[in-house]
Amino acid sequence: MSITTIRVSDTEVQVERTLYTFAQKSDADAFQNCLVDGSVDTCYRDHPPLSARPTVPDEHPDDPARGSTISPSLGGMP
């Protein structure tokens, strides 16, 4: 099974829906390289991050329409 990783910044690596933050670029590099052949649990133990937090899918904080829903009216044409 492949693991989806995204390098967000020099010190941040997103794995699936979790963002890992590291103290240094080299720590993030080591964690990301570990994921090539290792599991997330193993790499987390071998290269512990400063923090790990879940990401919110499709979050757009600057979107003024965020949270609004447009749905068709029930009952057809007025």
Confirm whether 73 is domain-assigned: no
**Mean pLDDT (whole number) for 31-45:** 95
Please give the Cα distance from 15 to 63 (Å, whole number).
25
Q: Is the pLDDT of residue 69 over 70?
A: no
**What pLDDT, on a 0 to 100 scale, did the predictor assign at position 56?**
78
Confirm whether 70 is domain-assigned: no
Confirm whether 28 is domain-assigned: yes
Model confidence at 9, pLDDT cuts 50, 70, 90, reads very high
Confirm whether 66 is domain-assigned: no
Residue type, 8: V
**Mean pLDDT (whole number) for 14-40:** 96
Confirm whether 76 is domain-assigned: no
Instruction: Look up the domain containing 40 and give its range.
Output: 5-54
Q: What is the pTM of this model?
A: 0.70
**What pLDDT, on a 0 to 100 scale, did the predictor assign at position 71?**
53
Confirm whether 50 is domain-assigned: yes
Burial class (CB in 10 A: 0-12, 13-18, 19+), 34: middle
- 34 secondary structure, DSSP code: H
**What pLDDT, on a 0 to 100 scale, did the predictor assign at position 4?**
87
Confirm whether 75 is domain-assigned: no
Closest C-alpha to 13, from 30, 73, 71: 30
Domain count, the chain: 1
